Amino acid sequence: MNWRDAVTLAGREIRRRPARAALTVLAVALAAALLCALLAIAGTARTRVLSQLSHGGSLAGISVEPNAPNPAQATLDDPAPGLPRPLTEAAVTQISRLQDVLMVLPIVVAPVELLPPATPPAGSTLCPPTAVGSSTRSCGQGQDPGSAATVTPVLTTSAIGANLGQVNALPITLLAGRLPIAGSGAEVAVDEQYLASLGLTSSHASEVIGTRVELVTFVPATGLATTTRYQTAEIVGVLDEEMTSGDIVAWPKLIETLYSSETPPGQGTAPIDGAIVIAKQLSQVSPVRAAIAAIGYSTAAPVGLILSVGRYLHVVELVLSGIGIVALAIAALGIANALFAAVRERRREIGVLKAIGARDRDVLRVFLLEAGMLGALGGLFGTVLGMGMAAGIAANANAYLHSQGLSGVALSVPWPLPLGAVLGSCIVALVAGALPARRAARLPAREAVDA
Amino acid sequence: MLHDISLEVAEGEYVSLVGPSGSGKTTLLSLVGGLDHPQSGEIRVGGHDLRALSGDGLAAFRRETVGFVFQHFGLLEALTAKENVELALTLAGVSNAVQRHHRATHLLERVGLANRLDHRPPELSGGERQRVAIARAIANSPRVILADEPTGDLDDATAADVGDLLEQLRAEEGCTLVVVTHHRQLAARAERSLALGAGELVEARGALG
Amino acid sequence: MRRPPPANDPPRRTPASNRRRLAVALASAVLAGGLAACSGGPNAFSGPAPQRAGPVVTYVSVTEAQQDQPGDARTSWTQQFYRSSLPAWATAYELDLPSGWEFSEPSLISEVLALRPTVVTVALGLDEAFDGTGVLEFAGALRQLLVALHKAGVPTVLVANVLPLPGSPPDSSELTSLIHAYNVTIATESAAEDAVLVDAHDAFARALQTGQPVMAYGNSLTTLGENLMAGAFEAEAKHHVFWR
C-alpha cells in the first residue's frame, strides 16, 4: 500500500467517527493555540521590553557623543562623558569604516524657538476656558491666543536632524502619527516636552498631529539689520521619548536650513551633535565601542542591560513553552486513547485487511497517518486560533497603553512559530499514536474470522 | 482443536466443508488461507509451503494466491463498494488509479452491482455486501477462494444467489473453491463434500443430495 | 482460466482529487494570510498623505514698524500678512533696522536681495516725511529699491503709500502736503517697476474719518491699525498669486 492510498484510507477512517475525531482535533487545537499564544505574547513582550531598553532603536545601537571617552567608566553602559570634543565629518567617516559597524547615523542640530500654533488644539492651556471655573479649554474658530496679548515662545530648544529612513536604528518610538517623509523640509515630529508646553498630556498626542508649529531663528547681522526668520512646519508625529538634545525631529534638510539662516554665510553646515552607530551584531557592540573610544569619543549603549534582561526573558519563554508543551502532551494522551479505542473496535477489520494481503507495516502506516492527520489538523486550527488570541490580547493591551499615553506594542510573530506549532503537533500526535499503531500492526490475521 | 487432518484438493476443484459448530471448520480454513499457523504438520497451497512463510511472505501469499469470503462480509465501512474492491488491488501493488477503477468497476458489474459502486456497506443489503466481498476476493485472480459461511447471514433466496455466483465465478476464473457452510443446499453444489467432526476429516460423499 | 489484467491507461484527475487540491490551496492561503496579518506593527509612515509644497515663497518686509521680539510677532500686520496671504510653506524674514536708519542706505538693498525674496512688502515714507526729506530724494531712494527688486526678478512686490496723520485736517499741513507728494511718487515709481500699489492711505483716511482708533501717537499703529494694514495688503496680494 503506497502512502497516498494509506492517506486516503486514514482520512476515511477519521471521517467515519466525526465526533471522536473532532474532539481529538479540538484537544490538540486548544493545546497548540495555548502554546502559540503564549510564545507570541512572550516574543512580543521581549521585543517591547528590549526596545524600551534601546529607546526604540536597534539593540545593537551605540550612541556616540561629542565628548572624549572617560577611561574610568569605559565598560559601563552609560558612562559619564569626558571633556567636550566636536564630532567632525572626518571622525564620522572613520567610525563608519570600523570593522563590525553596520551603519552610522549622524545627528545634526540647530537652535530654534517655537511659537505656539495659531490655533492650538482643544484642551491646550493656551486656549481660554470655555466658562469661568471650567476645566475645558477651547480655542474658537480663528481665535489666536497671541492676538490679544504678547506671544511668547513656548519652547527655546534645538531641532534635531537625522536620516529618518533608518527609523528602526534610531532611539525613537512613535507615540502618535508618523515620521516626516523622506527629505521633507516642512514636516517635523515633536516630543512630549512640546505637548507639555501647550499644557497637553501624552494622551492628547494625536491632538497636535496636523497642526503647525512656528520655527523662529535669528539671522545674525552682517550689515544693517538683524533679521528674524519665521517658518512653519506641520507636526506629523509625536515621539515617546524626551530627547535630551532637542524637542523637534526632522530630516537634516530642515535642520541645515534653520542653521544656515542663523549662521553667517560660509560658516559651514549644522554641527554634528552625536551619532548612532549600529554594530552588525549585539555581541560586537563592546568591541565597536572600544574602537570608537580609541578614535577619541565617548559612547553609551545598554548592551549589558539588554543581555541581562534578555536572559531573564528567555527563562520566561522557556517556562511558557513548558506550559504549552504540557498542554500538548495532555492532548497527545487523548490521541493515544482514541487510537487504542479504535484498535479495539477495528480488530476484525484489521484482521480482514491482513487477510486480503496487508502487511504489518501497511496497518502501522494507516494508524500512524490517522494520528498524524489528527495532530496536523489540530495544530493548524490551533495555530490560527492562537494567533487570533494573541492579536486580541495585544489589541486590549494597546488600548490600555494608549489610554495611558504610551506607545503600543506591535505583535511580532516569528515565522518559525506557526510552522513549528503545526509540525510539533503533528510529531507529538505521531509519537502518541505509535503504540496503538504498533498494537494494530501486530494483530494476527486470524482476527478476521474470530468470533 | 484439529488433529490428524489430511486433506488434498485438486486445482480447480469445488469442495465444501461441513460439520457441527466448534468442529474446527473455520480453523481449518484459516490454516489453509495462511491466517493461522499449525502447531505441527505441513500445509501446501498452490505450490507454497506455508510453514516456510511468515510476515511479508505470508501477506504476499494471502494477497496473490488466496481470496477470502467471510460470513460477516469483512468490508471496510469507511470505503465504498468500489473502494473496497480497489483496496485488494492497492495491496497487490496496482498503483495506477485508472487501472484499479476499471478492474473494480468490471468486477462489481460482473456480480450485478453496477449501480451500487459508490455506496458504502451500511447502505447495502446483506446479499449486496457479500457480492462486494466476492468481487474483492477475486480482484487479484487468486488460485484459491476460501469462503467461510458465505451465506451464514443471508436468507435462503439470497443465499442461493450467492451460491450461484460463487459457482459461476469459479468456472470463469478457473480457481479452486473451498466453502465452509452449514447450508445443505450450498454444500450439495460442491463436487466433493468433506465432513469435519471431533477433529477428524471424513469424506461425506461425492455430492450431497 | 485466469483473465488477463486490463491495459494501463494514463491517470486522470477525479473530482475527489480536485477537492483535495482546492482544500490544500485554501488552507495555504489562510495560513499565509494569518501569518501576514500577525506580523509587523504600526507603520512609521502611516498617516494622511503629506501636502505637496509649491514654488519657493520667501517673504521679506521692508517697513518702518519693526518688531523687536517674537513676542510681538502676531500683532504686526507683516505677521498677519505672512500667515493669512502666503502659503503654509512660506518663509518670512523681518528686518530689524536700527534707530536712525534711513531706507536709502544702499546696503539695505543688498541685504534684502541676499535673502532671495519672492514676495516683498514695502511700507516706508512716514519717518522721511517727519524728517522733512525732499520728494526728489525720497523718489530716488525708492526708485533704487524698486529697480533693484525688479531687476532681481522678485515676482511680487507690494508697496504701500504713506499713511495720513491722525487728527490733522488733510489740507492744512505742510506735512500732509509732503505725504501727498510722496504718495504720488510711490504710485509713479510702483507703476514704473511693475510693483503693486497698496492704497493704505485711503483705507486709513476713511477709518480715521469714522473715528476708528487705527493710529496712536506718532506713527505707530494700534492693533486695529495693524489689522487694517494687513487687510489692505491682503486685498492686493490675492490678485498677484504665483504659488498656486
Chains that contact B by 3+ CB pairs under 8 Å?
A: A, C
Q: How many residues can be counted in chain A? A: 451
Q: How many residues can be counted in chain C? A: 244
Residue A50 lies in a domain: yes
- Do residue A289 and residue A323 come from a single domain? no
Model confidence at C119, in pLDDT bands (50, 70, 90)? very high
d(CA A140, CA C14): 72
Q: How confident is the model over A133-141, as a mean pLDDT? A: 61
* pLDDT at residue C156, rounded to an integer: 92
Taking alpha carbons only, the member of C121, C156, C7, A387 closest to residue B94 is C7
* pLDDT at residue A1, rounded to an integer: 80
pLDDT for A35 beyond 70? yes
Model confidence at A145, in pLDDT bands (50, 70, 90)? very low
- Closest chain B C-alpha to C16 CA, distance in angstroms: 12
Q: Which of A245, A273, A301 delimits the end of a domain?
A: A301
Chains that contact A by 3+ CB pairs under 8 Å?
A: B, C
Residue B82 lies in a domain: yes
C98 touches chain B (CB under 8 A): no
Total domains, chain C:
1
Q: How confident is the model over A167-171, as a mean pLDDT? A: 74
B26 touches chain A (CB under 8 A): yes
- Do residue A185 and residue A320 come from a single domain? no
Query: Using the beta-carbon criterion (under 8 Å), do A446 and B36 form an inter-chain contact?
Result: yes
Q: How confident is the model over A75-100, as a mean pLDDT? A: 88
Q: Which of A301, A331, A362 delimits the end of a domain?
A: A301
Could you give the ipTM of this predicted complex? Answer: 0.90
d(CA A153, CA A142): 19
Residue C24 lies in a domain: no
d(CA A51, CA A57): 7
Residue A202 lies in a domain: yes
Query: Using the beta-carbon criterion (under 8 Å), do C70 and A113 form an inter-chain contact?
Result: yes
Question: C 11-40 residues with CB below 8 A of B?
Answer: 11-12, 14
* pLDDT at residue A214, rounded to an integer: 87
Place of cell 519563554: A317
Range of the domain at C83: 58-237
Long-range CB pairs of A41-46, under 8 A, 24+ apart, other chains included: A41/A390, A41/A393, A41/A394, A42/A313, A42/A316, A42/A317, A42/A320, A43/A317, A43/A412, A43/A413, A43/A414, A43/A417, A44/A390, A44/A394, A44/A409, A44/A410, A44/A411, A44/A412, A44/A413, A45/A313, A45/A409, A46/A310, A46/A313, A46/A317
Query: Using the beta-carbon criterion (under 8 Å), do B99 and C2 form an inter-chain contact?
Result: no
- Do residue A290 and residue A404 come from a single domain? no
Q: What is the DSSP string of chain C?
A: -PPPPPPP------HHHHHHHHHHHHHHHHHHHHHHHHS----TT-SSPPPPP-S--EEEEEESS---SGGGGGGSHHHHHHHHHS-TT-EEEEEEPPTT--TT-HHHHHHHHHT--SEEEEE--HHHHHHT--HHHHHHHHHHHHHHHHHTT-SEEEEEPPPPPTTS-TTT-HHHHHHHHHHHHHHHHHHHTTPEEE-HHHHHHHHHHTT---B-STT-B-HHHHHHHHHHHHHHHTTS----
Amino acid at site B64: E
- Do residue A237 and residue A257 come from a single domain? yes
Strand extents, DSSP E, A269-308: 272-279, 299-300
- Do residue A162 and residue A287 come from a single domain? yes
Of A343-357, C128-142, C221-235, least confident by mean pLDDT is: C128-142
- Helix A347-355 crosses helix A360-403 at what angle (to 10 degrees)? 130
Residues of A in contact with C43 (CB under 8 A): 178
Query: Using the beta-carbon criterion (under 8 Å), do A229 and C38 form an inter-chain contact?
Result: no
- Do residue A95 and residue A190 come from a single domain? yes
The 10s digit of each residue's pLDDT in A362-373 is: 999 999 999 999
Range of the domain at B131: 14-205
| pLDDT above 70 as % of chain C | 66
The 10s digit of each residue's pLDDT in A89-115 is: 899 999 999 989 999 999 898 889 888
d(CA A336, CA A432): 5
Place of cell 499457523: B37
pLDDT for A164 beyond 80? yes
Range of the domain at A338: 3-54+308-448
Query: Using the beta-carbon criterion (under 8 Å), do C108 and A227 form an inter-chain contact?
Result: no
The 10s digit of each residue's pLDDT in A389-444 is: 888 988 888 888 777 766 677 777 778 888 888 898 899 899 999 999 999 999 98
CATH of the domain at C139: 3.40.50.1110
Residues of C in contact with B98 (CB under 8 A): 8-12
Taking alpha carbons only, the member of A308, A303, A305 closest to residue A279 is A303
- CB atoms < 10 A from the CB of B195, how many? 19
Residue C13 lies in a domain: no
Out of A151, A225, A232, name the one closest to residue C73 (CB).
A151
Residue C204 lies in a domain: yes
Classify strands A174-177 and B48-49 as parallel, antiparallel or unpaired.
unpaired
Residue A182 lies in a domain: yes
| Contact call for residues A143 and A160 (beta carbons, < 8 A) | no
Out of B36, B83, B87, name the one closest to residue A356 (CB).
B87
More confident residue, A309 or B117: B117
What cell numbers appear for B52 in the block? Answer: 516456510
By CA distance, what is B139's nearest residue in A? A356
d(CA B201, CA B188): 17
More confident residue, C11 or C178: C178
Element (DSSP H or E) covering residue B177: strand B176-180
C244 touches chain B (CB under 8 A): no
Residue B133 lies in a domain: yes
- The SS3 call for residue A110 is strand
Residues of A in contact with B58 (CB under 8 A): 445
b/e sequence B110-148, b meaning 16+ C-beta within 10 Å: bbebeebbebbbeebebbbbbbbbbbbbbbbbbbbbbbb
By CA distance, what is C4's nearest residue in B? B141
Model confidence at B54, in pLDDT bands (50, 70, 90)? confident
pLDDT for A148 beyond 50? no
Query: Using the beta-carbon criterion (under 8 Å), do C96 and A226 form an inter-chain contact?
Result: yes
User: In sequence order, what are the residues at sequence separation of 6 or more whose Cβ sits closer than 8 angstroms to the Cβ of residue C207?
Assistant: C214, C224, C228
CATH of the domain at B57: 3.40.50.300
B90 touches chain A (CB under 8 A): yes
Residue A177 lies in a domain: yes
* pLDDT at residue C218, rounded to an integer: 62
* Average pLDDT over all residues of chain C: 75
Residue A142 lies in a domain: no
Residues of C in contact with B102 (CB under 8 A): 6, 9
d(CA B205, CA B15): 11
Q: Which of A285, A301, A317 delimits the end of a domain?
A: A301
Distances from the Cα of B64 to the Cαs of A162, A263, B89, B130, B144, in angstroms? 80, 100, 10, 20, 9
Out of B98, B106, B174, name the one closest to residue C1 (CB).
B174
d(CA B201, CA B178): 14
Total domains, chain A:
2
* pLDDT at residue C72, rounded to an integer: 55
Query: Using the beta-carbon criterion (under 8 Å), do A151 and C37 form an inter-chain contact?
Result: no
- CA A318, A320, A325, A330: dihedral to nearest 10 degrees? 150
Residues of C in contact with B174 (CB under 8 A): 1-2
Query: Using the beta-carbon criterion (under 8 Å), do B173 and C2 form an inter-chain contact?
Result: yes
| Contact call for residues A294 and A71 (beta carbons, < 8 A) | no
Substitution target in B85, B98, B169 with the highest count of C β-carbons within 10 Å is: B98
Residue C172 lies in a domain: yes
- The SS3 call for residue A256 is helix
- Do residue A85 and residue A165 come from a single domain? yes
Q: How confident is the model over A238-248, as a mean pLDDT? A: 75
Number of H helices, E strands in chain B: 7, 8
* pLDDT at residue C21, rounded to an integer: 61
By CA distance, what is B37's nearest residue in A? A446
Return the CA Rg of chain B: 17
* Average pLDDT over all residues of chain A: 83
Considering A90-94, A173-177, C215-219, the range whose residues carry the highest mean pLDDT is: A90-94
Query: Using the beta-carbon criterion (under 8 Å), do B70 and A1 form an inter-chain contact?
Result: no
Q: How confident is the model over A151-168, as a mean pLDDT? A: 79
Query: Using the beta-carbon criterion (under 8 Å), do A449 and B30 form an inter-chain contact?
Result: yes
Total domains, chain B:
1
- Do residue A257 and residue A380 come from a single domain? no
Out of A178, A212, A229, name the one closest to residue C46 (CB).
A178
Q: How confident is the model over C119-136, as a mean pLDDT? A: 85
* pLDDT at residue B21, rounded to an integer: 82
Place of cell 533696522: C97
Question: What is residue B52's DSSP assignment?
Answer: G
Of A1-15, A35-49, A321-335, C197-211, least confident by mean pLDDT is: A35-49
* pLDDT at residue C202, rounded to an integer: 93
Residue A122 lies in a domain: no
Query: Using the beta-carbon criterion (under 8 Å), do B102 and C5 form an inter-chain contact?
Result: no
Residue A128 lies in a domain: no
Residues of C in contact with A418 (CB under 8 A): 31, 34-35
Place of cell 554594530: A279
Residue A83 lies in a domain: yes
- Do residue A7 and residue A30 come from a single domain? yes
pLDDT for A347 beyond 80? yes
B74 touches chain A (CB under 8 A): yes
- Do residue A159 and residue A46 come from a single domain? no
- Do residue A360 and residue A397 come from a single domain? yes
The residues on B that touch C, with CB distances below 8 Å, are: 96-99, 102-103, 106, 141, 172-174
The 10s digit of each residue's pLDDT in C161-175 is: 998 887 655 554 788
What cell numbers appear for C117 in the block? Answer: 525674496
Residue C72 lies in a domain: yes
- Do residue A235 and residue A334 come from a single domain? no
d(CA A357, CA A353): 6
Model confidence at B201, in pLDDT bands (50, 70, 90)? confident
Of A96-105, A128-137, A152-161, B28-37, least confident by mean pLDDT is: A128-137
pLDDT for A56 beyond 70? no
User: In sequence order, what are the residues at sequence separation of 6 or more whose Cβ sits closer than 8 angstroms to the Cβ of residue A252?
Assistant: A108, A161, A162, A163, A270
The 10s digit of each residue's pLDDT in B145-164 is: 999 998 888 888 888 888 88
Residue C34 lies in a domain: no
